[in-house]
Amino acid sequence: MAKDWSPTSWRTHPIKQQPRWPDEADLDRALKQIAGYPPLVFAGEARSLQAGLAQVAAGNAFLLQAGDCAESFEDFSADNIREKLRVILQMAVVLTYSMGVPVMKVGRLAGQFAKPRSADFETVGDAEIPSFRGHIVNAEGPTAAARVPTPDRLVQAYHQSAATLNLVRAFTKGGFAALDRVHAWNQEFVASSPAGQRYEQLAQEIDRALHFMRATGMDTESNANLRQVDVWTSHEALLLSYEEALTRQDSTTGHWYDCSAHMLWIGERTRDLDGAHVEFLRGVGNPIGCKVGPSMTGEQVIDLCETLNPARIPGRLTLITRMGVDAIEDGLRPLLHAVKDSGHPVVWACDPMHGNTYTSENGRKTRHLESVIGEIEGFVRAHHAEGTWPGGIHIELTGENVTECVGGADDVQDADLDSRYETVCDPRLNGRQSLELAFRTAELIRTTQSS
């Protein structure tokens, strides 16, 4: 167990990116309520995910972490959750089939609400209003009233996470994810795209393989491996008072786990070594991640590894790089080298989204699919050069047919962005773009590893 740590020890460290709650007593009331609620996940599940991630760290498996930039209180329905799952399952099948290794599926969902902001305030007309920090804190409308941090939202976020997780468990264990339904995950607007057609072919091959197995006498109906998947949950551990309220002592091991999600990560803006976020996450037993931006040095990465994973437990720490397509290859190599030299077992995952955001001519925040895939390509090449395993990808996506990112086989243009721009935060890949990314990622890894 971590030395000199408790679920509240972060409170004596400098903290960034917290809302200014107007009424402390009201905040305490909401936090006490959550602290009395049941945990959302179980410590044993977090340990299973960590064991899977240990396989990723060893180069025997791949990590697919994907979902919303920020979940929304309004855009909350069975359809929305199902469409997101469908595209994650499709991507996972493509990666598993093409790369021939197990894929750990981790959603940015069931708790991914809180957002860090570059400024505490925003100017609207001639008024200064607090920035939008995600539906767990305030509302996005550009008025002072909408932006007041409201503690009841913490409670609502807990309930929405519980309902989302319940549906994810039902879908992934109740037959929806069975491999004989691989065709059914291809929604119409995806199926009609080039990536969707390619997917149909792959699905047919899987069908034939299942037929073959049945013909040999194997009972594919009762085999749980073929019928069920594990989709784990994750989010940025940003609002530490909320995370603390869901941190519980595991009765079987006596260790502390943050039971708001299976995996938690630290953002690029809150990864100071002596800061509150690093202090909090170093003490929980969950597998954790940390974003790694372009300014990071090899020495700093090693310090992070030493602080967050002093016992060097494989699968415990995932480093999620987000450097931008132009910086990744040269920026990443010295870090890979330094970590390899240190002997720290880490999962390296590529977030190709956050370093490639720009504002289009019509004022929308967007990302080009070619830059996103270009960053994955640089990531894969850097790993190949250093002899390390490009362990995974971390993607912002939705199953819906939105127009938030440009490019892809349909060639979404700047001028199209207004037609379905629905995100409450960063621009997400739509279902078609996500599937195209999965095919191209699998190809990049396959061809680079074999050269």
Is 85 one of the binding residues for ligand TRP (CB under 6 A)?
Answer: no
Determine contact, residues 107/231, Cβ cutoff 8 Å: yes
229 binds, among Mn ion, ligand TRP, none (CB under 5 to 8 A by kind): ligand TRP
What type of residue is 98? Answer: S
As measured in angstroms, the least distance from the Cβ of 371 to ligand TRP is 27
Dist CA 300 CA 238 (whole Å): 21
| Distance, CA of 237 to CA of 289 (rounded, Å) | 10
Q: Which of Mn ion, ligand TRP, none does residue 69 bind to, with CB < 5 to 8 Å depending on kind? A: Mn ion
Among residues 93, 245, 336, 372, which is the contact residue for ligand TRP, using CB under 6 A? 93
Span near ligand TRP by CB under 6 A; candidates 89-97, 190-198, 307-315, 389-397:
89-97
Residue 293 beta carbon to ligand TRP: minimum distance, rounded to whole angstroms: 31
For residues 111 and 261, is the Cβ–Cβ distance under 8 A? yes
Query: Considering CB distances under 5 to 8 angstroms, the limit depending on partner class, which of ligand TRP, Mn ion, none binds residue 96?
Result: ligand TRP
Instruction: Single out the residue of 109, 110, 179, 240 in contact with ligand TRP (rule: CB under 6 A).
Output: 179
Residue 93 binding partner per list ligand TRP, Mn ion, none, with a CB distance cut-off of 5 to 8 Å that depends on partner kind: ligand TRP
Q: How many residues does the chain have?
A: 451
Least Cβ distance, residue 88 to ligand TRP (angstroms): 8
Residue 65, contacted partner among Mn ion, ligand TRP, none, CB below 5-8 A by kind: none
Q: How far is the CB of 230 from ligand TRP (least distance, A)?
A: 6
Q: Residue 70: what are its φ and ψ, rounded to 5°?
A: -140, 125
- Taking CB under 6 A as the rule, does residue 123 contact ligand TRP? no
User: Are 155 and 30 a contacting pair, CB within 8 Å?
Assistant: yes
Contact 405, 375 (CB under 8 A): no
**Considering beta carbons, is residue 16 or 173 the nearer one to ligand TRP?**
173
Tokens, residue 301: 């990465």
Instruction: Determine the interface stretch with ligand TRP among 85-93, 191-199, 277-285, 305-313 (rule: CB under 6 A).
Output: 85-93
x-marked contacts with ligand TRP along 126-165 as a string, rule CB under 6 A: ----------------------------------------
Question: Nearer Cβ to ligand TRP, position 29 or 181?
Answer: 181
CA neighbours closer than 13 Å in the CB half-sphere of residue 78:
5
Question: 64 touches which of ligand TRP, Mn ion, none (CB within 5 to 8 A by kind)?
Answer: none
- Can you point out the beta strands (E) in 117-246? 121-124, 127-130, 231-236
Is residue 153 within 8 Å of 137, Cβ to Cβ?
yes
Question: What is the CB neighbour count within 10 angstroms for residue 175?
Answer: 12
Kindly report the CA angle at 398 between 260 and 120, in degrees rounded to 5?
A: 60
Nearer to Mn ion, 404 or 426 (CB): 426
- Kindly state the smallest distance separating residue 60's Cβ from Mn ion, in Å: 29
**Is residue 89 a contact point for ligand TRP (CB under 6 A)?**
yes
Give the footprint of Mn ion on this chain (CB under 5 A). Answer: 69, 426
**Where would I find the beta strands (DSSP E) of 110-187?**
121-124, 127-130
Stretch that binds ligand TRP, among 28-36, 87-95, 115-123, 153-161 (CB under 6 A): 87-95
* Alpha-carbon dihedral 198, 201, 203, 204, rounded to 10 degrees: 170
* Nearest-angstrom CA–CA distance, 33 and 54: 35
Contact string (CB under 6 A) for ligand TRP, positions 186-225, x = contact:
---------------------------------------x
Burial of 418 (0-12, 13-18, 19+ CB in 10 A): exposed
Judged by beta carbon distances under 5 to 8 A according to partner kind, the member of Mn ion, ligand TRP, none in contact with residue 225 is: ligand TRP
For 107, residues 6+ apart whose C-beta sits below 8 A from its C-beta are: 65, 66, 67, 84, 85, 88, 168, 231, 232, 233, 234
- Report the C-alpha gap between 389 and 62 in whole angstroms: 9
Q: Is 92 in the site for ligand TRP (CB under 6 A)?
A: yes
Tokens of 376: 């994955």
Establish if 30 lies at the interface with ligand TRP (CB under 6 A): no
Q: Tokens 């996005």 — which residue?
A: 140
Q: Which is nearer to ligand TRP, 58 or 206 (CB)?
A: 206
Exposure b/e, 201-216, CB count within 10 A at least 16 = b: ebbeebeeebeeeeee
Q: Which is nearer to ligand TRP, 226 or 313 (CB)?
A: 226
Q: By CB under 6 A, is residue 435 in contact with ligand TRP?
A: no
Write out the binding residues for ligand TRP, residues 303-342 only, by CB under 6 A: none
Q: Which is nearer to ligand TRP, 99 or 338 (CB)?
A: 99
Residues near ligand TRP, by CB under 6 A: 89, 92-93, 96, 102, 177, 179, 225-226, 228-229
